[in-house]
Structure formats: structure tokens, C-alpha cells
Structure 1
């Protein structure tokens, strides 16, 4: 089970990276259009930027940034204060690890719950992106899924990770 969850966290991080890559491409294109417009502007030519660029970046980054949390948890990439527990007995390390994994899972589920509440409110209010006119609520889904996966990774580490076994 832990291996499946870890692979899913890897997939989320790769998908988040792909979204960031698209954001970089769109940003580069928009910046290039701005520079080109400044170059050809004196000649009476006009090169416009991408309409809705800011909307797209804001919506895309909102999910992509959260998609790295499960991978970071699966990699144990969070901050650990080993200095204080380096010489502690193994049962103490095990207990502290389980306590933090439980707290992490709880925080992730708490954030997922409030994101669901926010998504439902945004959906009921029919909020749309200003320029593109896209509904905002679907862009909550990757973040909610990432928070749930983050909690699942934390719980699976309690039973599948032999770090303090």
C-alpha cells in the first residue's frame, strides 16, 4: 500500500511540474510579446500579449503548488529537528514520529475540508475569472486531492515506512 501511495505522490508532483512548465511557457510567450511590442511599436505595429494571462497563471498555480506536498511528505522532505532526538531511545523517536505524522494528516484533512467549503461557496456564487470567464471552482479540485493524498501519505507512513522500526 505504501508503495502505491508513494507512486501516486510522485505522479502528483510530476503533474504539478508539468503545470508549472506550461505556466513558464505562457509567461515566456507573454513576456516575449511585450518585448516585441516595444521593439515594433515605433514602426506603427502592435503585438498584444495573451488575453487572460493573469487569470490563467493564478488559477493554474493555485493547484500546482499544492500538488508537491504529498511528494514532499513521501520523501520525508519536511523539516525535522533531529538535533533534539538524535540520542533519544528508539521508542521515543518512534512515538514522536507517529505523533507528527498524525498531526500532519490532521492538518492536511483540515485544509482539505476548508478548501471543499470554499469550493462549494465559489461554485454557488458562480465566481468566474475576470478576463477568461472560466469558472473558478474546478481549480480547487487538484488542491483538495493533493491535501487528501498528503494525509493518506502521512497515515501510510505510520504503517509502511520502516524509518523508526
Structure 2
């Protein structure tokens, strides 16, 4: 795998981690507002939660979750049946690995293709979030890039050293 692709995958995973951290901070803030609202209720007051909290979390997690796929693939962190595969001859292990890498690359490309159409449809339909009214289509972009990176990592592994991590 090339160093540039590796750095891009690492950067993408770090960005996804930052997004998850922001989601956690927003969730903690919203939970704190809920608790403060319960306490304030005893005094006849109220504390509002964050408007559109659910909209933000839904959009942010939809991209962040997919942004970890390339990193996972690059580190061979996917599910594998090691106990079974270790008993097979090396040639069978290599053939199975190449078959799964090919399938992974095809699935990533398939998802990119259909996610682009989904993004264009969301844009053309003017789909917006329920509370904040944010357009939904831009939030497809991180997922599309992530799926393309996932496919690229699988292709790099397919044509490179199968043991690279």
C-alpha cells in the first residue's frame, strides 16, 4: 500500500474520531441540559435541550461510521475466521484472501456508485432535516469518499503485499 494512501486512510480515521468526539460532547451537553431541566423543574423553571440534537447526531454518525472502514481494511481489522483458515494450505489462504479483497473492492465501488445517486436524489428532492432544516445531501460526501478509500485499500492490498497492514 502506498504511503500516501496509508496517510489518507489514517487522516480519515482521525477525522472520524474527532467527529465522534464532537458527537459525544454534544450528547453530554444535551444530557446535562436534560438533568438541569429536571432540577430546574423543582423551582418552576426549565432548561432547554439543544434544538436539533437528533438531526446533528444522525447526520454526523452517518459519515463518521463509514469513515472507519478504510482504516479497518488497511489494518486487516475485519472479521476473519482465523482458526479455520490457519489449517488450510498457504495457497488456499492466499486465494481466499485475494477473493475477499476483490469482493471488498467491488462492494466499495458498488456502494460509491449508489451513494452518489442517493446524494443526487436527496439534493434534487430538497431533503432537509426535520428540526434544523439542514440539507441532507452534503452529508453523503464523507461516506462516498470513505467507500472509495475502502475500495482503493482493498485494491492496493490485492495487488501489493497481502500481509501489509
Q: TM-score, normalised by structure 2?
A: 0.94
1:4 CA displacement: 2.0
Aligned to 2:152: 152
Q: TM-score, normalised by structure 1?
A: 0.94
Structure 1 residues 120 and 150 mapped into 2: Cα distance closer, same or farther (>3 Å)? Answer: same
Where in structure 2 are there 5+ consecutive unaligned residues? none
CA offsets 1:3-23 (integer angstroms, 9 cap, x no match): 221221111111111000000
> Runs (4+) of structure 1 moved beyond 4 Å?
none
- Cα distance between partner residues in 1 of 2:52 and 2:88: 55
Moved more, 33-42 or 1-10: 1-10
Moved more, 1-10 or 15-24: 1-10
- Judge conservation of contact 1:2–1:161 (CA < 8 Å) in 2: no
CA offsets 1:45-101 (integer angstroms, 9 cap, x no match): 221001111100001000000000000000001111233332333222222111110
Tell me, yes or no, if structure 1 residue 72 matches structure 2 residue 72: yes
Number of equivalenced pairs = 164
Tell me, yes or no, if structure 1 residue 163 matches structure 2 residue 163: yes
Where in structure 1 are there 5+ consecutive unaligned residues? none
